[in-house]
Amino acid sequence: MLLPALKSRYDAFAGRVLCSLSEIERRDVEAFDRWFYTGGGWRWPLALVALTTAIAWVASRLPWNMGFVEAGVLFNLLVLTLLWVGMTAWFGYRKLQGKLVRFIVVGPLLAVPAALVGATIARAAMGEDPLGWIREGSTLRHFVTAGLVFAFLCALLVALIANLRNREYAALAAHLEADARQSELARQLAESKLKLLQLQIEPHFLFNTLGSAQQLAEKGAPDAARLIADLIRFLRAAAPSMHGESATLAQEAALAGAYLGIMKARLGARLTWTIAIAPDLDAAAIAPGMIITLVENAIKHGIEPAAEGGTVAVTATRERAADGDRLVIAVADTGNGLAGTPGQGIGLANIRERLALLHGARARLELEANVPRGFVATMTLPLAGA
Does the pLDDT of residue 306 top 80, yes or no?
yes
Same domain, 251 and 366: yes
pLDDT at 202: 46
Going by pLDDT thresholds of 50, 70 and 90, the confidence category of residue 326 is very high
Does the pLDDT of residue 117 top 80, yes or no?
no
The answer to whether the beta carbons of residues 360 and 378 sit under 8 Å apart is: no
Does the pLDDT of residue 192 top 60, yes or no?
no
- Point out which residues pair with 364 in neighbouring strands: 380
**Count of domains for the chain:** 2
CA atoms within 13 A on the CB side of 315: 12
Residue 280: inside a domain: yes
Query: The CATH number of the domain where 317 resides is what?
Result: 3.30.565.10
pLDDT at 203: 53
Share of the chain above pLDDT 70, in %: 65
Residue 134: inside a domain: yes
Task: List the Cα angle 5/6/11 in 5-degree steps.
Answer: 100
Same domain, 256 and 139: no
Residue 217: inside a domain: no
pTM for this predicted structure: 0.45
Dihedral pair phi/psi, residue 370, rounded to 5°: -90, 160
Contacts of 176 (CB under 8 A, 6+ apart): 23, 24
Cis peptide before 63 (omega within 30 of 0): no
pLDDT at 199: 46
Same domain, 175 and 241: no
Residue 204: inside a domain: no
| pLDDT top residue among 58 and 368 | 368
Distances (CA, A) of 170 to 11, 48, 164, 176: 29, 32, 10, 10
Same domain, 183 and 311: no
Same domain, 110 and 251: no
Going by pLDDT thresholds of 50, 70 and 90, the confidence category of residue 344 is low
Residue 269: inside a domain: yes
Q: What is the mean pLDDT of residues 170-192?
A: 75
Does the pLDDT of residue 363 top 50, yes or no?
yes
Helix, strand, coil fractions of the chain, as percent rounded to 5: 70, 10, 20
Q: What is the mean pLDDT of residues 100-128?
A: 65
Same domain, 294 and 178: no
Does the pLDDT of residue 174 top 60, yes or no?
yes
Same domain, 114 and 53: yes
Domain boundary among 128, 152, 187: 187
pLDDT at 274: 94
Does the pLDDT of residue 316 top 90, yes or no?
yes
Same domain, 121 and 262: no
The answer to whether the beta carbons of residues 297 and 264 sit under 8 Å apart is: no
The answer to whether the beta carbons of residues 116 and 132 sit under 8 Å apart is: no
Closest to 234 (Cα-Cα) out of 263, 209, 213, 208: 263
Does the pLDDT of residue 245 top 80, yes or no?
no
Going by pLDDT thresholds of 50, 70 and 90, the confidence category of residue 63 is confident
pLDDT at 58: 82
Computed over every residue of the chain, the mean pLDDT equals 76
pLDDT at 273: 92
Give the pLDDT confidence of 145-161 residue by residue, as tens digits. Answer: 766 777 777 777 777 77
Rounded-to-integer distance, Cα 121 and Cα 137, Å? 18
Going by pLDDT thresholds of 50, 70 and 90, the confidence category of residue 287 is confident
Q: What is the mean pLDDT of residues 39-46?
A: 81
Same domain, 163 and 251: no
Residue 33: inside a domain: yes
Please give the residue range of the domain that contains residue 146.
23-187
Contacts of 341 (CB under 8 A, 6+ apart): none
Give the pLDDT confidence of 73-92 residue by residue, as tens digits. Answer: 777 777 787 787 777 777 77
Ranges 203-217, 221-235, 261-275, 344-358: which has the least confidence:
203-217
Share of the chain above pLDDT 90, in %: 12
Residue 8: inside a domain: no
Radius of gyration of the chain measured on its C-alpha atoms: 42
pLDDT at 342: 52
pLDDT at 364: 92
Give the highest mean pLDDT range of 211-220, 226-235, 248-257, 311-320: 311-320
Domain boundary among 187, 220, 250: 187
pLDDT at 313: 95
Same domain, 134 and 38: yes
Residue 162: inside a domain: yes
Residue 66 DSSP one-character state? -
Same domain, 158 and 257: no
Domain boundary among 155, 187, 219: 187
Same domain, 102 and 154: yes
